[in-house]
Amino acid sequence: MGLLQGFGVTFKQMFLPRVTSLYPEEKRPKPERFHGRHVLNRYEDGMEKCIGCELCAGVCPAKCIYVRGADNNPDSPVSPGERFGFVYEINYLRCIHCDLCVEACPTEAITETKLFELSFTNRDDAIYTKTELLVDDDGRAQRQPWELWKGGEDDDTSGWMRATSPSGDAGFEGRVAWSNELGFGYREPEKGQSDSVAPTPGPGEEQS
């Protein structure tokens, strides 16, 4: 009797809606602010956003980021500022995806994709260099052989940065405070503080 009751539970579940997916062939959608593998962004003209200030490395609680800046060559600058990120490395054996680096970056250079499936057979592969982190000419994350990309993981890399840009001050909700991104252009502001509070007028703006 107990055996039949057990099979009854099994057969009952067979006709209920499926809650699982055929992973890894199918991946469930992730929230816009999901913390995954990082990318180094570029401006629409192709210039790198990273200025080598090392603030991301300084704020990282896991000490997984190493940055070394260098002076730009006036004849062939890499970034719009005086300096650029000459060396940029992230050790994913240490990274905890807290996104403090994204909040600390003054130029929105580092943001995160929704990709978290990383399978290394070599420990050296876990240390991503600037070559692997910098977005390609379409503004997309560069795919590595050990990463599971199914599409859409890097559609909204700046979601967390745009959500936290007002720093909790409702007066800055809806205010665009970031630059356009290569391949994506202008990004709409994130909501989250208070729709009832109008943004504080900025320089050259009028109160509506």
Provide, for the chain, the percentages of residues in helix, strand and coil under a 3-state DSSP scheme, each rounded to the nearest 5. Answer: 20, 15, 65
**76 against 197, higher pLDDT:** 76
**Tens digits of per-residue pLDDT, 107-152?**
999 999 999 888 888 899 999 999 999 999 999 999 998 899 988 8
Q: What is the mean pLDDT of residues 154-183?
A: 83
Kindly state whether residue 162 falls inside one of the protein's structural domains. yes
Does the residue 11 lie in any domain? no
Helix (H, G, I), strand (E, B) or coil at 68: strand
pLDDT on residue 207: 47
Question: 80 in a domain, yes or no?
Answer: yes
The number of domains in the chain is 1
Is residue 69 within a helix (H) or strand (E), and if so which, with residue range? strand 65-71
Size (the chain), residues: 208
CA distances from 69 to 23, 39, 91 (A): 41, 17, 18
Range of the domain at 77: 22-172
Distance CA 55, CA 106 (A): 8
120, two tokens: 């290394």
Give percent of the chain with pLDDT exceeding 90. 54
pLDDT at 200: 52
Q: Could you report the per-residue pLDDT of 23-32, keeping only the tens digit for each?
A: 888 888 888 8
Query: Which position has the higher pLDDT, 73 or 164?
Result: 73
| 185-198 pLDDT tens trace | 988 877 665 545 44
**CATH code at position 63:** 3.30.70.3270
Bridge partners (DSSP) of residue 71 are: 83
pLDDT of residue 18: 78
Per-residue pLDDT at 208 exceeds 70: no
